[in-house]
Amino acid sequence: MMAVRAVTSCSLFRPSSPPLFSSALRFFPYRSRGPPSLSLRYGAHTQTRSVQSLFNSLMEELRAARKRRQKRVSAAASNRMGLLNEELAEDRLVNHSLQKGLLLEFKKDSDRVLLAVAQRPDGKKNWMVSDQNGFTSSIKPQQVTYIVPGIDNFDQADIADFAQKAQDNMDPSLLEFAWVELLEKNKSVTVEELAEIIFGSTEALESYSAHLLLSKDEVYFTVLETKGFRSVYGPRPSGQVEELIHQKLAKEAVEKEFQEFIELLASVKSMSSQDKPPKHSWTKDERIWSRIESLEAYAIDACKNDEQRKTAGMVLKEMGLAKTASSAVKLLIDIGYFPVHINLDLLKLGIPTDHSDEIISAAQSLLLDSSDPDEIDRKNLTDLKVYAIDVDEADELDDALSATKLQDGRIKVWIHVADPTRYVQPGSIVDREAMRRGTSVFLPTATYSMFPENLAMGGMSLRQGELCNAVTVSVVLHNDGSIAEYSVFNSVIKPTYMLTYESASELLHLNLQEEGELRILSEAANLRSNWRRQQGAIETATLDTRIKVSNPEDPEPSMKLYVENQADPAMRLVSEMMILCGEAVATFGSRNDIPLPYRGQPQSDMNVSEFSHLPEGPVRSFALVRVMRAAEIDFRKPARHGVLGIPGYVQFTSPIRRYLDLLAHYQKCFNKV
């Protein structure tokens, strides 16, 4: 099989004597082919004639051409080829030596060959040459790829014109005809012999044109022997040519498709932001998506293999960009695949930012299921005043507080925690996805929930004024702040207030009579703080900063900076109640032999007084935190938490956003005690 190249009928070069195949060329008129049109409907396929059909057509045309010209040129052609082989048989590989004034071709680097005129020797072997770009350099003999024959003193100023004329003669179809003729006669050729066959001349221009054709040929001829700067070429067998043509056509199809992809990128890149296609549209075509994936992997230095790295590099090169991760990021932003302010750490860490349609659908089904497996065990606590205190933009509301004074003067508090197990069971599809994520991710620009939003911010959350399922930990405190009584049970609550830390602190400061429960909570927090310090707790209250971006997709987004002092009355209140809850759950689990994620922290061997020279508050707290020993988790029994100053601790109050807390909630034996 072989492909037929179009042959121009108005070649810029006219040889002095007619080439051997001049009559045959008339049977293959030139067909112009314009550049492929740019369309976002990428990947359209066009049907072409089979390679076998093209080969058969070519052979038929050649046979007809030979019959018509047999009487006129056959004898002359045979005589010419015979003379060429006889005259050059002895010196076909006689090597030309470098001399001043010779026109030569040399390899500048791995991608470029240039024409140059030899000027003078440079040392023992090298030569100084002046190339077609006007530069003079020293080259090694092994860099020379061809010495143009028939020229003794070539003018450097004429190189560009000579090179252009040679390019004008670059018609690969000439090689096809020469290959057929030489294969039939089982003949080999030098460059000059091929020039005589196809151009009818061995002059400098024709010889160099033949050299260019052979040097770029990957199908019809192979080098049989080389000596110095000269080679003898032989026609490949027809079977091998057929296979090479097949490979070449396949390669050209891939290259064309790649160029269409590059044109697509350029087109989308030039669009306005609102006109760029959505991110998901890049995934529809497998070939497009493969290249986009390679660019994304290159952008975060996470290429899975060399093929991805090579693909990304090729795309960047064709787009005129440097082969760097930052260039890949910029390109993906320019086509609208990445947002303007892309957070690369999300990609590098593999943090999922969306839930699949399957997970969202499963979550919706759970919300529509009104059954409650723990309904008969839930205590109705809707008569309690319930305070939910959190940051102002909190989406996942998973804890709330209540308090009262008993008749004996002791304080009783209730820590209400959202109950995700009302909806999610261990091993379910939604549970497995939550386990894979491990936690919700809170960023200045967005929140990526462990559960789908319709669950995390809807059914599971403790919503103001609505009946909400919860797991409640009730604790009665001794007057010194230690735990006197506790219980853990499922409940139904109705949150009364949703307060920010700022508003809760303001209410505490106002000391309003009608908010007596909030004052009791504050009193309980103070008791607990004093008791923990007596048990060896270390003060770690610090300053926390938060940044919130309200319009992250905007090129110039609005940002707000929050500075939170953990010593703030409301923050300290909530913190103490969460620690109290963790201690009570750890005690409950220990006494009932329940495996739980018990969190401990060995007492650090440090003298706190050594830090007394530091200002009390955040500065001292930061210094203490830096020298503390790492926390440990044991699922068998509690371990003392030296930093908190309590005998045991279980993280229990954030089951919507932390899977380890959810594990504790799965111990449904709580309901039986």
Residue 268 pLDDT > 70? yes
What number is the average pLDDT over the span 37-58? 45
Residue 530 pLDDT > 50? yes
Which residue range forms the structural domain that includes residue 512?
Answer: 357-667
**Residue 593 CB burial class (10 angstroms; 0-12, 13-18, ≥19):** exposed
Confidence of residue 93 (pLDDT cuts 50, 70, 90): low
Report how far residue 97's alpha carbon sits from residue 125's, in angstroms, rounded to the nearest whole number.
11
The amino acid at 66: R
Confidence of residue 52 (pLDDT cuts 50, 70, 90): low
CA 566 to chain CA centroid, Å, is: 38
Residues 229 and 252 in one domain: no
Report how far residue 538's alpha carbon sits from residue 631's, in angstroms, rounded to the nearest whole number.
14
Residue 189 placed within a domain: yes
What number is the average pLDDT over the span 518-529? 97
Residues 194 and 314 in one domain: no
The amino acid at 159: I
SS3 call for 56: helix
Residue 484 placed within a domain: yes
Residues 331 and 447 in one domain: no
Q: Which of 502-511, 583-592, 614-623, 628-637 has the lowest mean pLDDT?
A: 614-623
Residues 323 and 450 in one domain: no
What number is the average pLDDT over the span 421-439? 95
Strands 103-107 and 113-122: antiparallel
SS3 call for 117: strand
Residue 42 pLDDT > 70? no
Q: Which of 36-40, 507-511, 645-649, 666-670 has the lowest mean pLDDT?
A: 36-40
Backbone angles phi, psi at 607, to 5 degrees: -100, 110
Report how far residue 188's alpha carbon sits from residue 522's, in angstroms, rounded to the nearest whole number.
101
Residues 336 and 382 in one domain: no
Residues 621 and 475 in one domain: yes
Residues 6+ apart with CB under 8 A from 614: 620, 623
Per-residue pLDDT at 25: 34
Residues 512 and 650 in one domain: yes
pLDDT tens for residues 9-33? 333 333 334 444 333 333 333 333 3
Q: Give the containing element (helix H, strand E) for 264.
A: helix 238-269
Task: Say which residue, 244 or 619, is predicted with more confidence.
Answer: 244
pLDDT tens for residues 116-171? 999 999 998 999 999 999 999 999 999 999 999 988 899 999 999 999 999 999 98
Confidence of residue 87 (pLDDT cuts 50, 70, 90): very low
Residue 452 placed within a domain: yes
Residue 45 placed within a domain: no
Q: Which of 338-352, 447-461, 534-548 has the lowest mean pLDDT?
A: 534-548
Per-residue pLDDT at 132: 92
Per-residue pLDDT at 4: 32
Q: Which of 205, 236, 267 is the last residue of a domain?
A: 236
Q: What percent of the chain has pLDDT over 90?
A: 65
The average confidence (pLDDT) of the chain is 84
Residues 231 and 251 in one domain: no
Neighbours of 630 (CB within 10 A): 6
Confidence of residue 314 (pLDDT cuts 50, 70, 90): very high
Neighbours of 188 (CB within 10 A): 17
Residues 434 and 473 in one domain: yes
Straight-line distance from the first to the last Cα atom of the chain, in angstroms, rounded to the nearest whole number: 84
Residues 295 and 186 in one domain: no
Task: Say which residue, 628 or 411, is predicted with more confidence.
Answer: 411
Per-residue pLDDT at 509: 92
Confidence of residue 616 (pLDDT cuts 50, 70, 90): confident
Residue 427 placed within a domain: yes
Residues 187 and 326 in one domain: no
pTM of the model: 0.67
Q: Which of 314, 349, 384 is the last residue of a domain?
A: 349
Per-residue pLDDT at 611: 76
Report how far residue 61's alpha carbon sits from residue 77's, in angstroms, rounded to the nearest whole number.
18
Q: Yes or no: say if 98 and 104 are a contact pair by the CB < 8 Å rule.
A: yes
Q: What percent of the chain has pLDDT over 70?
A: 84
Residue 79 pLDDT > 70? no
SS3 call for 351: coil
Per-residue pLDDT at 610: 75
Per-residue pLDDT at 76: 39
Per-residue pLDDT at 61: 61
The number of distinct structural domains making up the chain is: 3
Residue 77 pLDDT > 70? no
Count Cα neighbours of 158 within 13 Å in the Cβ-side half-sphere: 12
Per-residue pLDDT at 651: 95
Residues 377 and 262 in one domain: no
Residue 48 pLDDT > 60? no
Per-residue pLDDT at 183: 94
Per-residue pLDDT at 1: 35
Q: Which of 236, 261, 277 is the last residue of a domain?
A: 236
Residue 178 pLDDT > 90? yes
Per-residue pLDDT at 273: 87
Residue 92 pLDDT > 80? no
Bridge partners (DSSP) listed for residue 403: 413
